[in-house]
Amino acid sequence: MLPHRRRSKNQLPTALATLAAEHPGEHLELWCQDEARVGQKGRTTRIWYERGVRPPGVVDQRYTSLYLFAASRPGTEDAFALVLPRADTGTMEVFLAHFSQQLAPGVHAALLLDQAGWHDSRALQVPENITLLPLPAKAPELNPVERIWLYMRERYLSHRLLDDYDAVLDATCRAWNRLTTETGRLTTLTAYPYLLASEVR
């Protein structure tokens, strides 16, 4: 007999309804956030090549890296990103401060994110127009920003040799900017049904 699987319950609608009630004079927006490490140690991916011939692949073994922090509004083209040298409580505060400033007046952002240590640190200062909502532990598939990273790495950051930190920074910024100019790409990558159904309109 198969073990009984506990049925998961989407508690996001309840959390958003509670948050909306706590901020009656503000427009609530649901955003998802994550960060990705980008560096010299690259990756290979599938490419078009002559049939029956193994294509050459370029992979760097050096370790210079940085972090791309990003937030995306599910099912829309709305996104915000910041490149930072590391991922910790301090850089998370920098990201939140800049993200807070780009929100429209009267908007309160419900920011859905994983349970990384720097996301729930007691020392983390969160702006008043943002509320952090943690995802269940060990469930990266619930965060659509993970799909953004996968697409960006496969399309723009594979088979690359980057000489130094500045080259990594330039490649990361170019990749993000190219991604955001692809009409409809962010919409299709982030349109998770459970998120679209949960948002308070």
- Of 97 and 61, more confident: 97
Mean pLDDT of 23-51: 83
Any idea which fold 26-43+60-198 has? Nucleotidyltransferase; domain 5 (3.30.420)
Q: Which residues 6+ apart lie within 8 Å of 16 measured at CB?
A: 28, 30, 110, 198, 199, 200
pLDDT band at 3 (very low <50, low <70, confident <90, very high): very low
pLDDT value at position 6?
A: 42
List pLDDT tens digits, range 65-120: 899 999 999 999 999 999 999 999 999 999 999 999 999 999 999 999 999 888 88
pTM of the predicted model as reported, rounded to 2 decimal places: 0.86
pLDDT value at position 8?
A: 46
pLDDT value at position 201?
A: 55
Domain residue ranges of the chain, discontinuous segments joined by +: 26-43+60-198
- Of 158 and 130, more confident: 130
Burial of 111 per CB tally in 10 Å (0-12, 13-18, 19+): buried
Three-state secondary structure of 57-92: CCCCCCCCEEEEEEEECCCCCCEEEEEECCCCHHHH
pLDDT band at 160 (very low <50, low <70, confident <90, very high): confident
pLDDT of 20 strictly over 50: yes
